[in-house]
Chains A and B, each alone.
Chain A
């Protein structure tokens, strides 16, 4: 499903070259649940971004479902992000000027493979599933941070992605909310069979994963 070969990312800064990820090899089979753990600044988010088609690696390759992601054209890469990847960010990431239902429907509307009616029906049922059935017409600023994160998960699922990437989706939420949200993600992995890669600081949660990847200083430690 996922095969990373020597992926690296370094940033040019005023202090010189900063290496965020240094040659990671990672294989994930389809349908698995993988937890990525590591200290702050170890390069977890950077790795996720390279896997999800959001950040071009300085070196190495990322293959998702047999596609060499970073050799795709710009248009094909956009379609890849749109159709194959569901991304949940570490921070609030809804568009503030769109209603929740529009936020969730947006990725499907960008691709336009379904009718608007079908898309909105699906968006509504996803929000329902995330316990947000009563907030379809609400704007992001009108709901809590935890609810926003749930809406972001609904958005990530709208196009039935093969790979769900969740980068510390509960970092700034209380424990109870964290458990609820994690349950949703694990349910998606279990029930729909979506491959789930989750970055987390919660070791108890990581224990539940089929595979734990520990990153330190941009490299995998075993």
Chain B
């Protein structure tokens, strides 16, 4: 009802200082929770090491391959060493759920990027791949075809545009979201067949492009299998291979961080709880202060639900506005510190990736809804108690 909603709104305006303080308190609380949750998830995602982040548990590469564990990025430097494309399939290992083969050709003078830029042309098997295609942020409305390429987030050619690679036209089929994995950010992905067709145009044919050979596999463990089991199984079945897992020194840090973040989460829950108690205490006082008016409303025929409604709407508006304000502040703060945070994390070797938009929006909506819910819950009990009093007692200022 408009008049009752009006009443709730006017009531907020009557005690401006108090309303503003309440809004500010809720804004701080929900801002901290929103910012904390978003940062936590972003950092947690960013800490996921290289291929782990892509959704793989381990990587199988030729024994002599150089693995780069200097940073959080765990990638394989492309070399001329290769494995047979069918080794894992033939071995039929119970501990391996999926294995995605990749051919990585690092080429120069390809026509992509600056003249001397080393570009990774990465061949995938679209049917087996589970680490690239899930990251497609945008793509053409059809399946991947011969002559199509997928670009990492670090390259900016528009979707559907033509890209000359070694003079041959290719179509930009899709673009990946930010993965934070270096080789992926600037990679150019295509099917094995497309890569094979390119081989003829290259000044010299990389070893990995030999038929039936691959640079390595990204492996997903079978449910219940441990990394150790899989490692032994693979090493005994595949000659000349080595298994790289994500358990570098960094995962220790990551676990520590995860524990810390859990602690922060617990603190945030406590903060929200204390905020709920505070709002409830405040609204007990507000209801007491307004009892004459509530009694009057009751005397002229307002139903219990309408009385409760006036108080709850007032509370929900205040805490909801606080929630919106808090999220807005949170976004501003994160914008403000984005540069220094990203710089710092990059420095310690963690390429920072922000939480994706849908999740961020979900957190924002969650924080606002939670704030509004705290208002509703806080006001509900005192309002309900008042609504059950005799109108006359309320009007006389008792109860």
Q: Does B bind A?
A: yes
Is B248 in contact with chain A by the CB < 8 A criterion? no
| Among candidates B7, B301, B302, B392, residue contacting A49 with C-beta atoms closer than 8 Å | B392
Please indicate the chain A residues that have their CB under 8 angstroms from the CB of B300 in the complex.
Answer: 81-82, 87, 106-107, 110, 155
Q: How many Å lie between the Cα of A110 and that of B1 in the bound state?
A: 8
Q: How many residues of A contact B (CB 8 A)?
A: 32
**Does A33 touch B at the CB level, under 8 Å?**
no
The residues of A that contact B304 with a CB separation of less than 8 Å are 74-75, 78
CB distance from A70 to the nearest CB of B (A): 11
CB-CB contacts of B291-315 with A at 8 A, as 1s and 0s?
Answer: 0010111111111101000000000
Q: Which residues on the A side are within 8 Å of B7 (C-beta)?
A: 95, 97-98
Q: Are B10 and A98 in contact (CB under 8 A)?
A: yes
A150 within 8 A of B: no
Query: Given A55-B391, A55-B392, do A95 and B296 touch, yes or no (CB 8 Å)?
Result: yes
Give 1 or 0 for each of B5-43: 1 = CB within 8 Å of chain A CB: 011001101100000000000000000000000000000
**A110 touching B301, Cβ below 8 Å:** yes
Query: B303 to A75, Cβ gap below 8 A?
Result: yes
Q: Are B391 and A81 in contact (CB under 8 A)?
A: yes
**Which of B11, B302, B392 interacts with A54 by CB under 8 Å?**
B392
Q: Mark A61-97, 1 if CB is under 8 A from B, else 0.
A: 0000000000000110011111100010100010111
**Chain A residues in 8 Å Cβ range of B306:** 110
On chain B, the residues within 8 Å of A122 by CB distance are: none
CB distance from B286 to the nearest CB of A (A): 14
Task: Tell me if B3 counts as interface (CB < 8 A to partner A).
Answer: yes
Which chain B residues border A106 with CB–CB below 8 Å?
3, 300
A80 to chain B, nearest CB (A): 8
Decide yes or no whether A169 CB sits under 8 A from chain B: no
Q: Does B390 contact A (CB under 8 A)?
A: yes
Question: Chain B: interface residue count, which band?
Answer: 20 to 34
Task: State the CA gap A96–B6 with chains docked (Å).
Answer: 12
**In the assembled complex, B393 has its CB within 8 A of some CB on chain A:** yes
Alpha-carbon distance between A155 and B13 when the two chains are bound, in angstroms: 24
A41 at the interface (CB under 8 A from B): no
| Contact of B301 with A97 in the complex, beta carbons under 8 Å | no
Which residues of B, 267-296, contact A by the 8 Å Cβ criterion? Answer: 293, 295-296
Would you call B299 and A87 a contact (CB within 8 A)? yes
> Quick one: closest B residue to A80, CB to CB?
B301
Q: Is residue A102 contacting chain B, with contact meaning CB distance below 8 A?
A: yes
Residues in chain A near residue B303, CB distance under 8 A? 74-75, 78, 110
- Knowing A78-B302, A81-B300, the reply to whether A95 touches B390 (Cβ < 8 A) is no
* CB-defined contacts of A83 to chain B, threshold 8 Å: 301
Within 8 A of B (CB), among A81-140: 81-83, 87, 89, 93, 95-98, 102, 105-107, 109-112
Verify B3–A52 contact, CB threshold 8 A. no
Residues in chain B near residue A75, CB distance under 8 A: 303-304
The answer to whether A55 and B390 touch (CB under 8 A), given A98-B6, A110-B300, is: yes
A89–B392 alpha-carbon span in the complex (Å): 10
With A54-B391, A54-B392, A110-B1 as known contacts, state yes or no: A79 contacts B301, CB within 8 Å: yes
Q: Is A56 an interface residue (CB 8 A)?
A: yes
Alpha-carbon distance between A96 and B14 when the two chains are bound, in angstroms:
10
Q: Which of A74, A83, A110 has the most CB of B within 10 A?
A: A110
Contacts of B6 in A (CB 8 A): 97-98, 102
Closest Cβ–Cβ distance, residue B398 to chain A (whole Å): 9
Q: How far is the CB of B125 from chain A (nearest CB, A)?
A: 67
Tell me which residues across on chain B come within 8 A of A102, comparing CB atoms.
3, 6
Instruction: List B contacts of A82 (CB < 8 A).
Output: 300-302
> Contacts A82-B300, A87-B299, A105-B3 known; A54 to B395 CB distance under 8 Å?
yes
Instruction: Report the bound CA distance from A5 to B300 in whole Å.
Output: 24
Q: Residue on A with the closest CB to B9?
A: A97
Q: Specify which of B3, B298, B390, B392 is in contact with A98 (CB 8 Å cutoff).
A: B3
Give CA–CA (A112, B391) in the complex, Å.
Answer: 21
Chain A, Cβ-Cβ closest to B303: A78
A80 to B303, CA, bound (A): 11
Alpha-carbon distance between A49 and B299 when the two chains are bound, in angstroms: 9
- Nearest-neighbour CB distance to chain B for A9, whole angstroms, equals 10
Cα A52 to Cα B295 with chains together (Å)? 13
Q: Which B-chain residue is minimally distant from A155 (CB atoms)?
A: B300
Q: In the bound complex, what is the Cα–Cα distance between A55 and B303 (angstroms)?
A: 15
B390 to A97, Cβ gap below 8 A? no
Q: How far is the CA of A52 from the CA of B1 in the complex (A)?
A: 25
With A49-B392, A74-B304, A98-B6 already in contact, the answer to whether A109 and B14 are too (CB < 8 A) is: no
Please give the residue numbers on chain B whose beta carbons come within 8 Å of chain A beta carbons, in ascending order: 1-3, 6-7, 10-11, 13-14, 293, 295-304, 306, 390-393, 395
Q: Which residues of A contact B (CB under 8 A)?
A: 46, 49, 52-56, 74-75, 78-83, 87, 89, 93, 95-98, 102, 105-107, 109-112, 155, 159
User: Which 6 pairs between the two chains have the least Cβ-Cβ distance?
Assistant: A82-B301, A97-B10, A55-B392, A49-B392, A54-B392, A54-B391
A-B CB contact pairs (8 Å), 8 listed? A56-B390, A78-B302, A83-B301, A87-B300, A95-B7, A97-B13, A97-B14, A110-B306
